Structure 1
Amino acid sequence: MSTTAPLPLLSNSLRGLGLDAGTLFFALNYEFTKIESKGLLKRFKKSKDAIDIDLACVLYDNHCTISDIVWFKQLRDKAESVKHQGDSLNGKDRGEQAMYQAPLDQEQIRLSLDKIPAHITHIAMIANSYHSHPFSKVEKGEIHLSDDEGNRCFEVNLKQLPRDCTTLWVAHLRREVDDWHLTLQNLPLPAEDIENAAQEVAHELARALPIPQDI
């Protein structure tokens, strides 16, 4: 049975959330939404007339340094522990089985947590609107995280995000001794692309690290 935690309160270990900590699926599902271009924008490519949302998982070491980014430009990390299942350009180009409320998600990133290298201590889950169309412009859509038994721990409704949000730090996984701790961030970022968003998250993670105590 699917479980959904209240968005503002979600911060717990995967076991505490009732999830199978072996495999997680960070996924996106939204309805094809055409954007009407005005003026000179009509000269742009047709692909820019539809909302294109991308997902990414960014892997960081203990110093909050970026080790890998898994996204449409790099479909897996070096250890092949995080795998992007393929890019959708507009929410309908992957067929009827991968459209809104269909059996498959348009985009999905599979995280095999038991295969993630030991030096990786943080994983950021990020969403970005490729053409900078606000997420809230979609007709309908959501971002969610589930385990391989279909249990969901959160769903982010794209329509409920701030009106100008085009890049979102969705969630954060932090390695613990024998589990991972999940926090739903739901934090808009000023970055216009995934690479810059990854750097902004690195800065935020570093700020949150404990301050070393003098001996």
Structure 2
Amino acid sequence: MVTSATFRHPGPLAISVAQVDEMSGGRVEFGLGAGWFEAEHRAYAIPFPTLGERFDRLTEQLEIITGLWGTPAGETFDYSGTHYSVSESPGLPKPAQTPHPPIILGGMGAKRTPALTARFATEFNIPFAPLDGLIQQYARVAAAVEDAGRAKDSLTYSAAFVLCAGRDDAEIARRAAAIGREVDELRSNSPAVGTPDEIVDKLGPFLQGGVQRVYLQVLDMSDLEHIEFIAETVVPQLR
């Protein structure tokens, strides 16, 4: 859902996102995180610093990327950080959206995550979290947003869940087997598992807990009927 601050340098990343935003007619939503999956870093020869350094890099990247996008045409941008420095950058190209594409941040960090969200984000996302943890983290972020002097409705709160839906138990079990998961385990970890009515009922407390947007992780990408099924049977009940 997001790229990691360990994967790319902030200047080329700002350029890439701006170009895709222009090519797509302003459809980019930009997600950036500190990085967490050490095995993936090892698998692709990417350094995996300490958690503190990863958050430091994330902070500097957000400052640089938004600075490059926000620099008026004809002016230059400079930045001096611990990990990245910018000198006399024209800050080009610019994204199609103004002042810049929506920025999505997320995670369960208790201090730096809410603070960065309040400074930079348009949307805050929590992936695969239980309801009590989600509500607690949303409260931290809401407090940080208020402390930053932002309007409460200036931030969208979202959540991500694994999807495994079906018309009956047999279809649910077939889809669970296709992704190498057990139905009972999936049901205990995600409200987006079960029949349409079951999913709507289980999503209810999450919506009441503050979730405004739901992302569904479709692990069997060859099963397009799965997506059509959700669009036809679940989405209309949530509108």
TM-score (norm 2): 0.24
Higher relative contact order structure (alpha carbons within 8 Å, sequence separation ≥ 6): 1
Q: Quick check: which one's strand share is greater? A: 1
TM-score (norm 1): 0.26
Q: Quick check: which one's helix share is greater? A: 2
